[in-house]
Structure 1
Amino acid sequence: MFDLQRLRALHAVRQHGSVAAAADALGFTPSAVSQQIGKLEREVRSPLLERAGRGVILTDAGLVLADATDSILTTTEQASADLEELRSGVAGTLRVLCFPTAIRGLVGPALGELRRTTPDLTVLMEETWIRTTERIEAGHADLAIAHDWVDSPIDLPAHLSQAPLMEDPVDVLLPAEHPLAGRDDVLIDDLLDAPWIIDTNDGSICSQWLRSQMAARGRIPDIVHRVDEYPSQIAVVAAGLGVSTLPRLGRPDLPSTVRTVPLRGERPVRRVFTVCRRASSRRPAIRTLIDALRARADHP
């Protein structure tokens, strides 16, 4: 009988290509992962890893065990789902990962409703947007609320299940005294000369969208401030220092000195969805949580 924790360590090394990356995904130290794999090697009396450049690859014996671990983890998840379905009512504990704006506009209110309607279900939420799918794969969380963009969807491994929740359009954020602040909508052509406030990540969808829209018109955006947090962006716009873009989900209350105006034509739109392991997607607790999130998404 092999120790499941040791098998998970080997499985993570195959997924992530190195002991250090596996340790990061599992939340352990590289030394701890190496120790687990070392114990497994002594147990099977065969080397399981060999060096390949800066990383490692699995030996034939390692591949056999990693493939078996796939089956073991899937079977364990399916057994848990079957057992949960046999119980009366929805109960248990779910560990959920969530990005910040979804907590404010979607998850927080949904969990508040679940606390009243399903008191035997405990949901432990963690705010994060970093390596959420890897943590779901590794079994460190049960469900993630994630997002991508309609024009740039992410690809998930086949053993993960995705359930759509909502689409989240992006609007323009303007100072209240701006000449366009009273419009029903605006075009990007109306803002070619505007001073822009964008985030610090040039690879973000909003940054890429702005640059591509400007480039299509032979222009370069006048970027005057780089600010990540939405409340901080709002404060900078409120001071009359520029314009910005802002998704609708989880949008905080705006001061009287700021207006949001919808974009007309091509605009960035976020897709918000849940991610869980496919083998656990039948669990009544997970289905109940997804239903609660969808009900909240229908009435934001």
Structure 2
Amino acid sequence: MGITYSILTEIFPPKSQFDPERDIPDLSDQVMIVTGGYTGIGYHTVKALLVKGAKVYIAGRNKDKGEKAIAQLKQETNGKEALFLELDLANLKSVQNAAAEFVRREGRLHVLFNNGGVSTPPVSDVTSDGYDLQFGTNVVGHFYFTKLLLPILLATAKTTTSGKVRVVSTSSMAHLMGDLDFATFRDGPARKKKSTLMLYAQSKFGNVVLSNQLAKRYGDQGIVSTSLHPGILRTELGRHLSTIEQLLLSTMCYDPPYGALTQLWAGATDEGLKYNGMYLIPWAREGRPNPRTNDEKTGDELWTWLEEQVKDIAS
């Protein structure tokens, strides 16, 4: 009953009561990162943050797309200019380099939007480090990026009026049909037996579990960690779906700006500071995650596994 209710209310959300222009305060003293910020909901998230005066880094692997987005955003925001940070979440060395470059350039980080990701690519696709492309990008890459930025996040929390900073992780309604099969995180026979949709659901399940663990482990040090479903949207994320799947989804899809609403609410409003460890749904509401994402044993096992994966990345 709980999951059925959650699916219905996430597919058919009521009209949003949240208005970014009205409800987001001045952000002119804040520094933020949006992974995957040059397209889709990431682009619209960056745009809203720039309008409110934030210093925003668009983190992504395609510098050309990043520069084009920055130029377009500058036109659309009366001269507000985002910055590009080269980051390939499917390459852990690139993740390490991106975090080091950000710390070199900045002394503060108020909000990390773990927004980027991949959806339903061919099952044959893996990361440069040998992980399933979806789990490696959506979970492992974001975990490592967040881990490397924790020192600057925690230091920044000590300087804010609220004593808090935020990590906002974009998951999906697909996590409701997901779980964790550790044998499929890396390439191998078990992974190849899974459908790309189930591997996607697993990665989005992992996003929620990881967000919950971050909230549990660092909430008392000022980290506010939330995960969310942004909505069913017309974005590039579904480009690997079949034509029939895309047509079916299009009947219930919303335009990309709607997808930015919930993560802006979580990451840029005073109210969003209250939702540490919560799962949020369209449009800017508290939701009900898959109950298995709150299992302490599962969370501890995933965190331990992830720590093991990144402990020996050469500097």
Same topology, TM > 0.5: no
Q: Which has the higher helix share?
A: 2
TM-score with structure 1 setting the length: 0.28
TM-score with structure 2 setting the length: 0.27
| Bigger Rg, which one | 1
Q: Which has the higher strand share?
A: 1
Q: Which has the higher contact order (CA 8 A, sep 6+)?
A: 1
